[in-house]
């Protein structure tokens, strides 16, 4: 019983993946929307994480894991949403340098992924462990935004 359920789940997710693939990779405005949604989830997660780090929100390990898992999920997906045809439009703040230096940009994303995986692995039970883990991830924000984002303010 359990086995057939697992199998059914596997098959259905494979079908879902196949459908997504058949539609082709997300392009243009869709890519811009997707990466902006990821960055919004980053902002929301960082606000909670930062609030706990600053002591404005009481620390809770489950919430800590939620924050780090969100950052990890974003780090693993955001890199897929910068196709060539998404350089302009939709109020994008992505800098042209991303496409001029895709290798350097991908290295930044790799660093972010590494940092979020380390942070998740530390399974912070207390605030100090969380602060260290969150702080290591947060450093990556500005190191990427320094070169690859344009402020629109």
Partner 1 sequence: MAKKLLAAAALIAVAAGALFWLLTAPRSISTAALPQHQPDLENGEAMFQLGGCANCHAVPKAEGDERLKLAGGLELATDFGTFRVPNISPDEATGIGGWSDADFVGAMQRGVSPDGAHYYPAFPYASYARMRAEDVLDLKAYLDTLPAVSNEVAGHDLAFPYNLRRGLGLWKRLYLSDAPVVSLTADAERLLRGRYLVEGAGHCGECHTPRGTLGAMREDAWLAGAPNPEGKGRIPNITPHADGVESWSEADLVYFFESGFTPEFDSVGGSMVAVQEELARLEKSDLEAIAAYLKAVPPRPSAGR
What SS3 state is found at 87?
A: coil
Contact between 146 and partner 1 by CB under 8 A: the answer reads yes
Among 18, 43, 55, 89, binds partner 1 (CB under 8 A): 43
Report the C-alpha gap between 11 and 56 in whole angstroms.
45
> x/- site string to partner 1, residues 5 to 34, per CB under 8 A?
------------------------------
Report the C-alpha gap between 10 and 126 in whole angstroms.
36
CB of 106 to partner 1, least distance (A): 18
Binding part of the chain for partner 1, among 13-21, 43-51, 69-77, 111-119 by CB under 8 A, reads 43-51
> For the chain, how many helices (H) and strands (E)?
6, 0
Contact between 141 and partner 1 by CB under 8 A: the answer reads yes
Q: How many CB atoms lie within 10 A of CB 67?
A: 26
Report the C-alpha gap between 49 and 69 in whole angstroms.
11
Report the C-alpha gap between 153 and 150 in whole angstroms.
9
CB of 18 to partner 1, least distance (A): 37
Among 26, 28, 41, 50, binds partner 1 (CB under 8 A): 50
Strands of 87-133 (E only): list them: none
Give the binding site for partner 1 (CB under 8 A): 43, 46-47, 49-50, 54, 93, 95-96, 138, 141-143, 145-146, 149-153
């Amino acid at each position: 019983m359990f086995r057939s359920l697992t199998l059914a789940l596997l098959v259905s997710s494979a079908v879902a993946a196949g459908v997504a693939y058949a539609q082709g990779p997300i392009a243009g405005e869709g890519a811009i929307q997707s990466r902006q949604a990821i960055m919004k989830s980053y902002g929301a997660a960082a606000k909670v994480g930062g609030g706990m780090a600053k002591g404005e929100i009481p620390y809770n390990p489950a919430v800590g894991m939620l924050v780090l898992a969100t950052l990890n999920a974003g780090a693993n997906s955001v890199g897929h949403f910068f196709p060539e045809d998404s350089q302009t439009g939709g109020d994008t703040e992505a800098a042209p340098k991303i496409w001029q230096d895709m290798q350097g940009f991908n290295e930044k994303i790799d660093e972010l992924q590494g940092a979020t995986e380390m942070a998740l692995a530390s399974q912070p039970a207390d605030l100090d462990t969380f602060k260290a883990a969150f702080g290591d991830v947060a450093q990556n924000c500005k190191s990427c935004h320094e070169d690859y984002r344009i402020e629109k303010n």
